[in-house]
Structure 1
Amino acid sequence: MAEILPVDEALEPALALLEAGEVVALPTETVYGLAADATNGEAVARIFEVKGRPRFNPLIAHVSSMEMAEKIAVFDPASRLLAHGFWPGPLTMVLPLREGHGIHALVSAGLDTVALRMPRGFARDLVGRLGRPLAAPSANSSGRISPTNAAAVEADLGGRIKLVVDGGATPVGLESTIVKVTPEAPRILRPGGVTAEEIEMALGVKVIRGGAAGIEAPGMLTSHYAPRARIRLNATDVADGEALLAYGPTRAAGAEEAVAVLNLSENARPREAAANLYAYLQELDRSGARMIAVEPIPEEGLCEAVNDRLRRAAAPRANPSAHT
């Protein structure tokens, strides 16, 4: 089983493991990440092995400063403006790789671009001490629910890793927004902890949603973030044997007969819903229900990202019994 250490005791042990080419599970403001030295191919390969993640799916490289970021990628004026406005924070940018960048090809999945983010808190401190970027997807088996606390990481990956750094519950609770600045407009490849409206306000232009073609960044697989139970979206009633993921003050018909009920936000607050999403899906998954009915959630603010994760969780799965 993995050792669990609080953040105020974990910096040196985590640094030693990373220097040795191991992986470490650590908190960020979004979700818990499974980190390895992004310049070490064997270390990055361990991320894919631990998660059971497809190697065509790129990873985010986490930096501690603009100086480090500029050595890895080429920033245009709009991307630099976004970095100034939202770093450190829950925004990832897909940028052209700079010559001599040092990032291993497994991180970029062979693309000529890289997804970069500057996190807050412990993760940023650790990158700064290491002096090299950290590749860090969510610390869970591939395709499953992202963890927002150390216990969820240990329950899933504890038998496969050596250390989980415990920073408590993550404040944002959803992965970062991924944006790519293109000649026509900024493209949001994955909605997340920074809203489309915030990006539009920072740049003064409308954003486009979705990629141009193929997998351009992490989190773009159709089926992702899924519990073992099935997901039924926009539910206005609850069928026999279903659990209910509620939103707001008004309940779906038959809610009182649900196996279990959890409300993302009684007062319909998008940030509260985002922070609760993964923990509540995990808890409802443990209820024994084979289906989780989800009440309608409006596409506003951070709820755009909440709905994105729920749609991916509800997507058909090639192998419903698989844990990857």
Structure 2
Amino acid sequence: MCKELRTKVLRLLPQTLNGPILQRHESHADGADVLGQTVKALQEGHVVALPTDTIYGLACLAQNSEAVCKIYNIKGRNEQKPLAICVGEVQDIKKYCKVQVDEELLQDLLPGPVTLVFERTDLLNRDLNPFTSLVGVRIPDHPFMRRLCQMCGEPLALTSANISSQNSTVAVHEFKELWPKLAVVVDGGPIGDQSRLGSTVVDLSTRGKCRIIRPGCALPSTLDVLQHKYGLSAVTLGE
């Protein structure tokens, strides 16, 4: 059972040239304060809800085993289904993944609506996806998410903000039944891509090949980069 929290709902206002402005629903708070509150909740082992460039997500610190367990309980998620990690910068990927591709390829795809799957390094929490040697990594094209990862200084475990088997969400009211189990809900407004498909997931753990695990919302543009620019051979899941 997840203990009910006094959930803080924080509203993400439109971006400025210097990044997003954030404001609490209950009272005014500047952007640094809201980012600070979200980081504090994560560091205390809580789960938070956040907007990404595709759908809303649930996140916790990937290196915190108890927090990872909370995400599974909140979603009712099968424990044999992996969680992705989210980092703030391309160079951070190599800390947690054994990268088999050129950094230029990573720069071409990230930040963006793509999850890249690699062999994990020993630095990543062993209790995160202990049933597989692989891990998916994301850098959402969303300033708030990137700043949050940078401030945390470690990866976030990330999954969609919905009860398992239900539709992905593109507005915070769509997962309101989960709010009592979350420390912070960051309301970024409706997400522009209404497809609800989530990110395109590609396994790049085998040199020279790319395996499509989930088509997601960016398959054509992703394949264009992987196949036409870098000459990788594409296969679909099950091949």
- Indicate whether the TM-score tops 0.5: yes
1:36-69 residue CA offsets vs partner (Å, 9 max, x unmatched)? 0000000111101111111111001001112221
Could you say if the C-alpha distance between residues 86 and 197 of structure 1 is closer, same or farther in structure 2, counting changes exceeding 3 Å?
Answer: closer
Q: Which of 135, 138, 141 is matched with 1:117 structurally? A: 138
Q: Which runs of 5+ in 2 are unaligned?
A: 1-5, 13-21, 24-33
**What SS is found at the alignment partner of 1:95?**
strand
Q: Distance in 2 between matches of 1:83 and 1:183?
A: 14
1:209: which partner in 2? 236
1:168: which partner in 2? 189
Residue 21 (1) aligns with residue 45 (2): yes
Q: Distance in 1 between matches of 2:100 and 2:188?
A: 34
2:17: which partner in 1? none
Q: Distance in 2 between matches of 1:77 and 1:65?
A: 16
More strand by share: 2
Residue 91 (1) aligns with residue 91 (2): no
- Maintained 8 Å contact 1:15/1:129: yes
- Maintained 8 Å contact 1:5/1:166: yes
Q: How many pairs are equivalent?
A: 208
1:153: which partner in 2? 175
Q: Distance in 1 between matches of 2:72 and 2:232?
A: 37
Normalised by the size of structure 2, how large is the TM-score?
Answer: 0.80
**What SS is found at the alignment partner of 2:49?**
strand
**What SS is found at the alignment partner of 1:107?**
coil
2:19: which partner in 1? none
Higher relative contact order (CA 8 A, sep 6+): 2
CA-atom RMSD, angstroms?
A: 1.9
**Offset of residue 198 of structure 1:** 3.4
Q: Distance in 1 between matches of 2:138 and 2:112?
A: 8
Q: Which has the larger radius of gyration?
A: 1
- Maintained 8 Å contact 2:210/2:233: yes
Q: Write out the 4+ residue segments of structure 1 that deviate beyond 4 Å after TM superposition.
A: none
**What SS is found at the alignment partner of 2:174?**
helix
**Offset of residue 2 of structure 1:** 3.4
1:72: which partner in 2? 96
Amino acid at match of 1:163: V
Q: Distance in 2 between matches of 1:81 and 1:108?
A: 28
Q: Which runs of 5+ in 1 are unaligned?
A: 213-324
- Maintained 8 Å contact 1:118/1:124: yes
